[in-house]
Amino acid sequence: MPSISRDEVAHLARLARLAVTDDELDLFAGQLDTILNAVAQVGEVSQQDVPPTSHAVPLTNVFREDVVRPCLTQQQALSGAPAAEEGRFRVPRILGEEQ
Amino acid sequence: MSELIRLSAADLADKIHKREVSSVEVTQAHLDRIAEVDGAVHAFLHVNTEGALAAAAKVDERIAVGEVASPLAGVPLALKDVLTTVDEPTTVGSKILENWLPPYDATVTARLRAAGVVILGKTNMDEFAMGSSTENSAYGPTRNPWDLERIPGGSGGGSSASLAAFEAPLAIGTDTGGSIRQPGAVTGTVGVKPTYGTVSRYGLVAFSSSLDQAGPCTRTVLDAALLHEVIAGYDPMDSTSINAPVRPVVEAARQGATGDLKGVRVGVVKEFRGEGYQQGVIDSFDAAVRQLRELGAEVVEVSCPHFKYALGAYYLIAPSEASSNLARFDAMRYGLRVGDGEGLSAEQVMSLTREAGFGPEVKRRIILGTYALSAGYYDAYYGSAQKVRTLISRDFAAAFEQVDVLVAPTTPTTAFKIGERIDDPLAMYLNDLCTIPANMAGNGAMSVPCGLAADTGLPVGLQVMAPALADERMYRVAAAYEVARDAAQGGPLINRVPELEAIPR
């Protein structure tokens, strides 16, 4: 029977870049445990020798002709940016103070 | 109320093309209806009054010189807010994309415009299409026109409610685990999930890429077929698009409407009844199966033993893909940014933005997906779920060796009350029990209204499933059933929606 701890949920939230609150951790840990228990029944087939399906329609090597096509202008690409400067996306600093 | 809003899309198109009424008049009638009742229904997140009237005027000009762009030219439509539009915000029901104006049109949007279909506005949905009730929308729930206390289904509850409220004769939905079919079932409307890969996903904000499929939502089977042929077709901008001609679904719907199903073999999925199924739903479904038999269909019971694993596999695969897809909401290139200019690092800004911009169900699924994909759990969860997918496809393949289409109830229950299941994610997930198998295998499936449940007086959906790339089969069966149902029930079910009280938007 799977079980997911509050600490594990906190770790997963960090990996997923979600600054969750303590209240959310309490709530999600319980709910995720219930959900995992319900979905774990897929494990009943794990020993069966069947190939996995990743996609309903198996398509491989989808190529297109290497030709220039219209694309977004710089202005369009930046139109939804939370912050732009000198025709570029302006982002917060990447490194922390101690790095 | 204008009588125009009660007409089917096919009838409206006919009148517009014969110039008995203009597209502008038809569009205005629907805009008036939205203004009158959407305060109560809340099907729309955005209404594009000026854009719609301008598009309609353009269609009228073209028709005046004898140019009819498509069989649906001039007919208005409600577009689910998950498909991008350059002239209207696209929010996906999320605060993280509040007021986002996309720089490009989705292929579905572009095809609608090219066909002269008039886009009225964008419809409400569960955030990122995660949900079965629209209660997960960051902008408040949509209400079911049959009973405003109840949910209109989800995630495409705005689209289904707009049809049942006569705010639009056509709508577009997207179906990842049932988000077109379940809203159709609980609002007494038609909802079609075409075969995966036959309608382009370009410009469809991704939830679970291997499952997401856009499709038509309407009040009649023929209207769905007409809309299906407008939006379907190969698109090089979607790498999973199938390069094959669009199936003849309109012809099949017209053939079905003659009411003859002789020689058609229909399989009843025996696993879809029993515990958890409302008696009124089962009774309506059984009555529909009897009608199919009376239409000449040969009905047999079929077993699909692995369908019972579908729900579990879905709630591993869809969150896994979502956790990856939603990583793009990083507060850098578009959408919300929280904590900028406070000396915080990009990673901190990202985490604060995602915390503020995503609602609880989206966070739950991102965490669940991150878990299922993490080292040590991958084989047990994601790997097994992918095996289930194969087993479900094999069940379908075996069934379709015996029968032409499969039928089942679309949902185990009729519409529940707003708030009733919101605190219990698992109870909410059970809505998708009967719809998920077709997403896992990729084949087409649709819901057609089959009456009101005797125990709740609310609409029930009959689900018809066809083999992949044979969508015309389900249209034929659904159209034949629709004619028989209307004859037996004294007219279309949708005419029995209660009158809505005017509550302006």
Among A24, A35, A42, select the one facing B384 at the smallest CB separation: A42
Position A63 pLDDT exceeds 90: no
Say yes or no for a CB contact (<8 Å) between B442 and A40: no
Identity of residue B352: L
Contact residues on chain A for B380, CB-CB shorter than 8 A:
43, 46
Q: Is B163 among the domain residues?
A: yes
Say yes or no for a CB contact (<8 Å) between A38 and B312: yes
What integer is the mean pLDDT of A67-71?
91
The DSSP output letter for B409 is: E
**Residue A31: partners with Cβ closer than 8 Å, 6 or more residues away:** B364, B425
Count CB atoms within 10 A of the CB of residue B237. Answer: 15
In this structure, the dihedral spanned by the alpha carbons of residues A58, A63, A64 and A65, taken in order and rounded to 10 degrees, is -150
Percent of chain A having pLDDT more than 90? Answer: 66
Q: Is B469 among the domain residues?
A: yes
Encode pLDDT of A29-51 as tens digits.
999 999 999 998 998 887 889 99
**CA–CA min distance A59, chain B (Å):** 7
Say yes or no for a CB contact (<8 Å) between A12 and B440: no
Say yes or no for a CB contact (<8 Å) between A41 and B309: yes
Mean model confidence pLDDT for chain B: 96
Q: Where are the beta strands (DSSP E) in B97-205?
A: 118-123, 170-174, 190-193
Category of B60 on φ-ψ map: left (φ > 0), alpha (ψ -120 to 50) or beta: alpha
Split at pLDDT 50, 70, 90, the class of B377 is confident
Q: What pLDDT, on a 0 to 100 scale, did the predictor assign at position B22?
A: 98
Q: What pLDDT, on a 0 to 100 scale, did the predictor assign at position B75?
A: 98
Encode pLDDT of B176-185 as tens digits.
999 999 999 9
Contact B255/A at CB under 8 A: no
**Least confident window among A12-16, A66-70, B194-198, B213-217:** A66-70
Instruction: For B97, name the nearest residue in chain A, comparing CA atoms only.
Output: A80
Instruction: For A38, name the nearest residue in chain B, comparing CA atoms only.
Output: B312
What burial letters (b/e) apply to B439-461, b meaning 16+ CB within 10 Å?
bbbbbbbbbbbbbbbeebebbbb
What integer is the mean pLDDT of B209-226?
98
What interhelical angle do B9-17 and B49-64 show, nearest 10? 50
Say yes or no for a CB contact (<8 Å) between A46 and B387: yes
Q: Is B382 exposed, middle or buried (0-12, 13-18, 19+ CB in 10 A)?
A: buried
Q: What pLDDT, on a 0 to 100 scale, did the predictor assign at position A54?
A: 85
Say yes or no for a CB contact (<8 Å) between B364 and A64: no
Contact B196/A at CB under 8 A: yes
Distances (CA, A) of A41 to A54, B272, B365, B395: 19, 18, 18, 18
Distances (CA, A) of B209 to B103, B315, B367: 21, 14, 18
Contact B322/A at CB under 8 A: no
Encode pLDDT of B309-351 as tens digits.
999 999 999 999 999 999 999 999 999 999 998 889 999 999 9
Among B312, B330, B344, select the one facing A39 at the smallest CB separation: B312
Q: What pLDDT, on a 0 to 100 scale, did the predictor assign at position A97?
A: 63
Q: Could you tell me how far CA B467 lies from the centroid of its own chain? A: 19
**Domain of B433: which CATH number?**
3.90.1300.10
Split at pLDDT 50, 70, 90, the class of B280 is very high
What interhelical angle do B471-489 and B221-231 show, nearest 10? 160
Among B239, B363, B389, select the one facing A53 at the smallest CB separation: B389
B293 DSSP β-pair partners: none
ipTM of the complex: 0.94
Say yes or no for a CB contact (<8 Å) between A18 and B390: no
- Rounded CA-CA distance B429/B444 in Å is 21
Say yes or no for a CB contact (<8 Å) between A76 and B103: yes
**Least confident window among A38-47, B85-94, B281-290:** A38-47
Say yes or no for a CB contact (<8 Å) between A94 and B315: no
**pTM reported for the whole predicted model:** 0.97
Pairing between strand B214-218 and B190-193? antiparallel
- Rounded CA-CA distance B360/B127 in Å is 10
Q: Is B252 among the domain residues?
A: yes
User: In which domain, by residue range, is B127 found?
Assistant: 3-307+390-493
Q: What pLDDT, on a 0 to 100 scale, did the predictor assign at position B400?
A: 98
Contact A91/B at CB under 8 A: yes
Position A56 pLDDT exceeds 80: no
Pairing between strand B76-80 and B118-123? parallel
**CA–CA min distance A42, chain B (Å):** 6
| Nearest to B117, CA basis, from B181, B62, B162, B66 | B62
Q: Is B85 among the domain residues?
A: yes
Contact residues on chain A for B311, CB-CB shorter than 8 A:
38-39
**B-contacting residues of A 48-67, CB under 8 Å?**
48, 50-57, 59, 62, 64
Contact residues on chain A for B391, CB-CB shorter than 8 A:
45, 48, 50
**By three-state DSSP, how is residue B489 classified?**
helix
Contact B236/A at CB under 8 A: yes
How many domains does the structure of chain B reveal? 1
Q: Which two tokens stand for residue B313?
A: 């596999």
Position B470 pLDDT exceeds 70: yes
Q: Give chain B's count of helices (H) and strands (E).
A: 16, 11
Contact A47/B at CB under 8 A: no
In this structure, the dihedral spanned by the alpha carbons of residues B96, B102, B104 and B109, taken in order and rounded to 10 degrees, is 80
What integer is the mean pLDDT of B45-68?
98
Q: Is B359 among the domain residues?
A: no
**A-contacting residues of B 337-356, CB under 8 Å?**
337, 339-340, 344-352, 354-355
Position B172 pLDDT exceeds 60: yes
Q: What pLDDT, on a 0 to 100 scale, did the predictor assign at position A98?
A: 61
Q: Is B498 among the domain residues?
A: no
Q: What pLDDT, on a 0 to 100 scale, did the predictor assign at position B156?
A: 98
| Nearest to B225, CA basis, from B74, B373, B70, B331 | B70
Percent of chain B having pLDDT more than 90? Answer: 94
Say yes or no for a CB contact (<8 Å) between B334 and A32: no
Position A7 pLDDT exceeds 90: yes
Contact residues on chain A for B196, CB-CB shorter than 8 A:
56-57
**A-contacting residues of B 155-194, CB under 8 Å?**
none
Contact B463, B181 (CB under 8 A): yes
B172 DSSP β-pair partners: B79, B216
What integer is the mean pLDDT of B42-66?
98
Say yes or no for a CB contact (<8 Å) between B364 and A31: yes
Encode pLDDT of B113-153 as tens digits.
999 999 999 999 999 999 999 999 999 999 999 999 999 99
B171 DSSP β-pair partners: B78, B217
What integer is the mean pLDDT of A82-98?
88
Mean model confidence pLDDT for chain A: 90
Q: Is B383 among the domain residues?
A: no
Q: What pLDDT, on a 0 to 100 scale, did the predictor assign at position B79?
A: 98
Position A1 pLDDT exceeds 60: no
**By three-state DSSP, how is residue B323 classified?**
helix
Contact A69/B at CB under 8 A: no
Q: Is B255 among the domain residues?
A: yes
